[in-house]
Structure 1
Amino acid sequence: MASSTKTFDCIVIGSGQSGTPLATSLAQSGRKTALIERSHIGGCCVNEGCTPTKTMIASGRVAYLASRAADYGVYQKTQTPAYAVLRGPKDGEHAPIPGAVKKMPIIDMVKVRQRKRDIVQTFRGGSEARLKNVKNLEIVIGEASFTSAHGLSVKAADGTTTDYEAETFFINVGERPRKPWLQGLPEVEASELKDRILDSTSIQELDHVPEKLIVLGGSYIGMEFGQLFRRLGSKVTVVQRGKQLVPREDKEFGQAMLDICKDDGIEVIFNASDAPEDTIAVSRDKRSIVLTCNIDGTATKVEGSHILFAAGRTPNTDALNLDKAGIEVDKRFHIKVSPTLQTSIPHIYALGDCHGGPAFTHISYDDFRIIKANFIDQTAKQLSTADRRIPYVMYTDPQLAHVGLHEHEARREHGGDKVKTASMPMSYVARALETDETRGLMKAVVHAETEQILGFTCLGLEGGEIMSIVQVAMMGGLKYTALQQAVFAHPTLAESLNNLWGFLK
């Protein structure tokens, strides 16, 4: 039974990377504010996304370097056996992995997981503590759904509901892993193998290293987890529907990523058809999961102990009853917004992943900056998402970082004769050679007439940091010649930006 209605000036739904600072800023501006969160403070980034995954990837990096110690002339007194933890301590002892990486260090997956949990709790706990001390802010835990354009109902964990009203609403509910439709999946989910069907959230809670992991999807999430678990000791097969890994990138980066996978011992299968007549199917064979797909007209079976679905995400808008408020969505159920983040109902805004577009934490936070400037500070110049330059980093090793336009985008936008490119392998970078981390390449896209940098991609050691230097140059409107002639300290990775432009053509 619903209680009496609570009234606020502003209600923020979701405590993600824009919702949390926005609720704080609204309350500090004197507005009576409620922050409604379904599960835990901090949103995906802190709890299931950036923070935990990069923590685990750090463990994978250490395992990788340990396995390469001899390359640097470093040896242990006692030879490390080539096996890793396949089960948690409660399930048995260490078991050998067929085809394990040579001199693979022992992996305590329970400790890897606990380290991840501890860091997540530190981040989340800090956010919770700060919110509790904000005047004019009430934290509400429960599932929100609109009842009208100015009202919503919140269902608590104990089943009780409370009605709320507000003048203005801000939606920051994020996305979740999308489960693909696969023939036979319901049967496998109903079997004893159900816990081996994983997504980007559940895979982080494993207490063991899978013997053989099938990764369905060869883009950013699939690449990060595929390489991570290979380094931890799994045999990994990546199944990609298209003909290129990281398909949004220029072709040479897809090829370079494939070369890295081969070097790491990751098997990659391309052109797994998802046409209606060639449905990808999943089944079980005793204690194994079997993925069947059509590869160039031939039925191909991939067997694994576990399978990871890494083929997209879906917005958490389905439980909001958006139609009750008159809020329009697109065909993928992302909320439609204007460049100033207003929905089809002017007093309701949407921020972060739930409105589609680039699903990155830093973009969600920039959405907050836009709302703060326009709605709270009411600055003379309205900020918007128009012409927002989007940087991002895929945290494989080496990292894949990008900002601005890819070559194919630049040629389409500016014309082929007005675009030049410069590509250079990381093996030409002194710092990369000195650290024996020469995999990958970097590439810049330049306007031939203005000499402005249109875009930059780096698949290489600390690629995100190199990209950020180029991004700052782009923000300042510098020509590529400014980086070419800059005096960078030697030997740094930034110094590579002196030499890259010599390959411009």
Structure 2
Amino acid sequence: MATPKKSFSALIIGSGQSGTPLATALAATGRTTALVERAHLGGSCVNVGCTPTKTMIASGRVAHLARRAGEYGVFQRVVGEGIAPAVEMERVRERKREVVAQWRAGSERRVSGVEGLEVLRGEARFVGERKVRVSLEEGGGEVEVMAEEVFVDVGERPAGAEVEGLEGLGEGRVLDSTSVMELGEVPGRLVVLGGGYIGMEFGQLFRRLGSEVVIVQRAQQLLPREDAEIAEAVRKICEEDGIEVVLGSTATKVSPQRGGLLLQYRTSTGALHETSGTHLLLATGRKPNTDSLDLSVAGIKATPRGHIIVSDNLETSIPNVYALGDCHGGPAFTHVSYDDFRIIRHNLIDKTSPPTSIMQRDGLVPYVVYTDPQLGHVGLHEAEARAKFPSKQIKTATMPMSAVARAVETAETRGLMKAVVDGESGHILGFTCLGIEGGEIMSLVQVAMIGKLPWWKLRDAVFAHPTLAESLNNLWGYLR
């Protein structure tokens, strides 16, 4: 039986933070458009990334504050010297599912009934330069789709880890950043393999929900991209929260034991150690969802890791085939993925401004790690600034959050903020805030950086008192 064929002006594979708005934007121009999605509309952010994780982290913060209520003179049921909140993991999970369903429904409504847009539920693979075969879900057979323009927005997924014995553990013992959010009970002891952004967020979350937590990190510091003093402050916060941190250690073997598992790891000195747990969370990175696309059939070039190689305007090695979002490498953030959509819109639809990425425009890629306190960063880290501008006079200003009035008033004094500046022009090259609402403070500095304001403009600004923003008056007194 012949495979049905369909032709469109535009084909989008994947409905992430680039693909979904692009689908409606292209259809609005009169292009006949197909959007292929094999799972849920909205991509990783809505379904298994930002939305669910930050929803659960909010539950963890409430549990944390409940335990600290006595510090503020607020008492409920007293147990010893503090409060003992009862965490119902099933309700935490249900709240997460409710929020995800709400945002997913928004994505569904966005593409539903759009004139000129057809949504195909299934998995696509290339069978030509701008031709794919879609295996439709629920036994719907296959359909061959051809288009003048093709946009690949398939994202990434957890990469797993190469550790001997993983396959031999009992069902549900080995978790990744998706499956860990579907637990119906709090793990007794969670071993987190990886001390990057994902490992840190989940490690602290489950400690606050009641788990014992140990983080095993290969590098010599947590969050390896961050400046050493920031990473050290994060480590101290972890240990204050009761998290065991093991640095400079590589997992070598895991084996089942009664009620859980035993992880063997080797330190940088070569010594072998063991730690036990009820569950193992693999937070060792992500990989692109390009391995099922048959890119080579279409002649689309990719890196050895599977990231699609693109030009400055996101075009692949094949004309009129583009890649957007995490699948082409680079900073894997939702806001960067959405910026890719803007590049395509400007280049192919509006044609009103240069189709350049955030990296080409100003290099100011912001991000926030939703630990508590938050870690917000934008621009260059100190080592990056010194390497990039060896002839410049680089200065830094580092101030503890304990020097911030609003932080003291709210009893949220953990962390620090750090600015990296050009000592001659005064331009701010990079900024990090590990502190209460660190992402919001960072965003304020980002605006100053976009406007190319020298640091003294922030020093001399009149901010409302008492606010966290007011700390930007005082930071520069620490400039060295």
TM range (shorter): over 0.9
| 3-state secondary structure, aligned to 1:458 | strand
Identity rate of aligned residues, in percent?
A: 58
Residue 109 of structure 1: aligned partner? 89
Q: What is aligned with 1:137?
A: 117
- Pairing of 1:416-431 with structure 2 (within 5 A): 418-431=393-406
Distance 1:307 1:421 in 2: 39
Cα deviations by residue, 1:430-473 (Å, 9 ceiling, x for unpaired)? 00000000000000000011110000000000000000000000
Say whether the 8 Å CA contact 1:2–1:162 is kept in structure 2.
Answer: no
Quote the Cα distance in structure 1 between the aligned partners of 2:138 and 2:212.
Answer: 43
Alignment of 1:465 onto 2:445? no
Q: Distance in 2 between matches of 1:55 and 1:178?
A: 23
Which of these residues, 314, 325, 333, is aligned with residue 306 of structure 2?
333
Shift of 1:314: 0.5
Amino acid paired to 1:435: T
Name the aligned partner's letter for residue 449 of structure 1: E
1:405-484 to 2 correspondence within 5 Å?
405-415=380-390, 418-484=393-459
**Could you tell me which residue of structure 1 aligns to residue 59 of structure 2?**
59
Alpha-carbon offset, residue 200 of structure 1: 0.3
Q: 1:184 maps to which residue?
A: 165
Mapped contact 1:80–1:105 kept (Cα < 8 A) = no
Is residue 121 from structure 1 mapped to residue 101 from structure 2 by the alignment? Answer: yes
Alignment match of 2:266 (pick from 285, 294, 301): 294
SS of match in other structure, 1:75: coil
Offset of residue 416 of structure 1: 6.5
| Structure 1 Cα separation of the partners of residues 22 and 282 of structure 2 | 32
| Worse-matched range after superposition: 350-359 or 373-382 | 373-382
State the partner residue of 2:367: 392
Map 1:151-190 onto structure 2 (within 5 A): 151-159=131-139, 160-188=141-169
Alpha-carbon distance, 1:339 to partner: 1.3
1:239 and 2:201 matched: no
SS of the aligned residue for 2:132 comes to: strand
Cα deviation code 1:338-390 (max 9, x no counterpart): 11111111210000000111110000000000100001112253334524320
Amino acid at match of 1:148: G
CA contact 1:18–1:351 (8 Å) conserved in 2:
yes
Q: Aligned with 1:265: secondary structure?
A: coil
**TM-score, with length taken from structure 2:** 0.97
Specify which of 226, 229, 241 is matched with residue 249 of structure 1.
Answer: 226
Please give the per-residue CA displacement for 1:384-443, whole angstroms capped at 9, x wherever unaligned.
Answer: 452432000000000001000000000001116510000000000000000000000000
**1:4 deviation in Å?**
2.3
Are the equivalent residues in 2 in contact too, given 1:104–1:233 (CA < 8 A)? no
Tell me by how many angstroms 1:487 deviates: 0.2
In 1, Cα distance between equivalents of 2:80 and 2:182:
26
Q: Specify the SS of the correspondent of 1:346.
A: coil
Count of residues in Structure 1 that have an aligned counterpart in Structure 2: 476
2:105 & 2:198 partners in 1: Cα distance?
26
CA contact (8 A) 1:2 1:163 kept: no
Q: Distance in 2 between matches of 1:112 and 1:380?
A: 45
SS at match of 1:300: strand
Matches within 5 A, 1:11-410: 11-76=11-76, 78-79=77-78, 103-159=83-139, 160-188=141-169, 193-273=170-250, 280-295=252-267, 296-379=269-352, 381-384=354-357, 385-386=359-360, 387-410=362-385
Residue identity opposite 2:118 in structure 1: E
Larger mean Cα displacement after TM superposition, 384-393 or 163-172: 384-393
Distance in 2 (alpha carbons) for counterparts of 1:211 and 1:468: 37
Q: Name the SS for the 1:293 alignment partner.
A: strand
Cα distance in 2, alignment partners of residues 375 and 52 from structure 1: 33
Indicate conservation of the 8 Å contact 1:197/1:307, yes or no: yes
Contact 2:36 2:122 in 1 (8 A): yes
Give the whole-Å Cα distance in 1 for the aligned partners of 2:83 and 2:242.
14
Q: By how many angstroms is 1:325 displaced?
A: 0.7
Residues in 2 aligned to 1:2 and 1:342: alpha-carbon distance in whole angstroms: 32
2:39, 2:121 within 8 Å by CA — same for their partners in 1?
Answer: yes
> Normalization by structure 1: what TM-score?
0.92
Aligned to 1:487: 462
Query: 1:3 and 1:110, CA in 2 relative to 1: closer, same or farther beyond 3 A?
Result: same
Of stretches 295-304 and 261-270 in structure 1, the one that deviates more from structure 2 is 295-304
Distance apart, 1:80 and its partner CA: 5.5
Secondary structure in 1 matching 2:160: coil
RMSD (Å) for aligned C-alpha atoms: 1.3
Distance, in Å, in 1 between the alignment partners of 2:88 and 2:217 is 30
The CA distance in 2 between the partners of 1:129 and 1:268, in whole Å, is: 44
Contact 2:166 2:174 in 1 (8 A): no
DSSP-derived class of the 1:39 partner:
coil
Q: Does the CA-based 8 Å contact 1:2-1:161 persist in structure 2?
A: no
State the alpha-carbon separation in 2 of the partners of residues 81 and 344 from structure 1. Answer: 65
